[in-house]
Structure formats: structure tokens, C-alpha cells
Amino acid sequence: MIEHSLEITAKTCGYWYIVNKGRIWLTPQGEIPYGHFHDLALPAGDHCLNIGEWLQQPVYLLIHQDQISDESQWHSARALLELPSPHWFELGARATQLALFLQTHRYCGQCGCGMNLVNWELALLCHKCGHRVYPRISPCILVAVVKDRQILLARSKRHKPGFFSILAGFVESGETLEQAAHREVAEEVGVSIRNLRYVGSQPWPFPHSLMVGFMADYAGGDIRCQPHEIEEAAWFDFMELPEIPPVTTLSGQMIAKACAKSND
């Protein structure tokens, strides 16, 4: 079993990210609880780790594994996107991804012995065979393809009718981010792109993605949707956009940025 769990004492004070199967416990006001653990009537946990600092206060991850009786205070990390600072969501991404990592790497994948938390870096180590593992992060590229005053938006099978976003896809082994961007756009909609520009990134803990955003110019080809992946795709005028992701998400920010730039 994993060792080195932090002991919670009467003096342990900070922000508490309490995680149960990817969900986070929030106060009735929808915030991350802060204070001395014993004063707050928080759900108990099996494993506690210091995962960083925010506003000069420690941030703790507490993994709660019991069956949840009251669902009302357990939320998806998406709820943290509504808070004024993006740091709450980023820390939530860290907390849920680390909780998943610890729960799914209790035993060595090479020899089957119990894993031990390394005390100077975020890793798990097998003392028997030396196998070391780090939290999994799956890079996923987002590409906003622009042609004149239009943007290419698509709807995947996961999205309801009428909801569109920019193209997205996971980076494959041995591939650069740029190669993944060109490949995904060609595969999903049959279009070629040029002038790829990095925009930014966003942790996306569902369950452990890192979104990496690029702008690109249309280079050629007609839209041909990939069966089984893309339900529909089209060029949308900047002034007549369908329902799109909110600006708290990187894809929403990129669509806004593409439209704002062309209106300069």
C-alpha cells in the first residue's frame, strides 16, 4: 500500500480538496473549504497529501473512498470553472488527477508488489524492482481553423445537437504536438491547415488531459466528416456562431480570440 500519508492534527490548516472518484466536496456556497480540518466538519479521508500552496496557505488533497450518502456537496471539477480565479480549477485538476493516480497505481505494473510514494517528487516507486511511475498526463490538441471571417467548428457524437466546438484529438505516442494537430484536422474533417500558432494550454482533469491550443489557417480541402467521430462540421461566420463552449474553457477562449482578431 502507499505510505507517507500526511497525518492531520489540530494544527493542520489550509485549503481542502476532498476527492471521491473524481468528484470534489464543496461548501454550500460552492467553494473549496478553508481552515483547521477538525473545525470544519468535513468528510474524513484515507489519504492526505500536501499538493501545493495558494494565497500563502497550504493546499491539501484528502482522498475519501466511502460510499457517498449525501450527493449534494460533491461536484465535478467543472464547478470550479465558475469561481473567479482559474487557480481553483487548476488545483482541482491537480487534486483529482493525483487522487486517480494514487488509486490506480497501488501495485507495481512490472512485478506486482506494493508501491511507495517518493518523498521528494510526485512519483510512486517499487522498492523490489525499482519501477517508478509518474501521474499520467494525456496531451490533447485543440485547433481553431480560420478561413477569411469564418471558423471551422464541429460536433462530435458526445455533444448535443446544436453545440459545436473546435477540433480536438489526443497526441499519439512518438508524435509532436504540431504533427498531431495536422493529423487530427485531416482525419476528422479532411481539411489541410498551415501557419500553426500556439495559443495556450489548460489542464482538463476528465480524467487526465492537458489541452494544448493552436490557431491555424485553412490551406485546402473540402469538409469530409470522419464517420463514428464527427456528426457534423461546417464553416461558421464569426457573427453567426452556434452554441459553443463557455470562455472558462480553452476552446471557448480560442473561439473568442479568433473572432476578436478578425474584427480588429
Q: Per CB under 5 A, does 183 bind Zn ion?
A: no
Whole-number Å distance between alpha carbons of 113 and 249: 40
Q: Which of 21/106 has CB closer to Zn ion?
A: 106
Radius of gyration for the alpha carbons in the chain, expressed in angstroms and rounded? 21
Shortest distance (Å) from residue 112 CB to Zn ion: 7
Instruction: By CB under 5 A, name the one of 27, 110, 192, 262 that touches Zn ion.
Output: 110
4 vs 127, which CB is nearer to Zn ion? 127
What sign does the CA torsion over 175, 181, 182, 185 have? positive
Using the rule CB under 5 A, give the single segment among 31-39, 107-115, 170-178, 180-188 that binds Zn ion: 107-115
Please select the residue that binds Zn ion; options are 40, 44, 129, 137, rule is CB under 5 A. 129
Beta strands in the chain (DSSP E): 13-20, 23-25, 34-36, 47-54, 57-63, 74-75, 116-117, 124-125, 132-133, 138-147, 150-156, 167-170, 192-204, 209-220, 230-237
Q: Tell me if 126 contacts Zn ion by CB under 5 A.
A: yes
Q: Which residues, numbered 131-150, are part of the site for Zn ion (CB under 5 A)?
A: 131
Span interacting with Zn ion, options 7-15, 91-99, 100-108, 159-167, rule CB under 5 A: 100-108
Q: Name the amino acid, one letter, at 192.
A: S
By CB under 5 A, name the binding residues for Zn ion. 108, 110-111, 113, 126, 128-129, 131
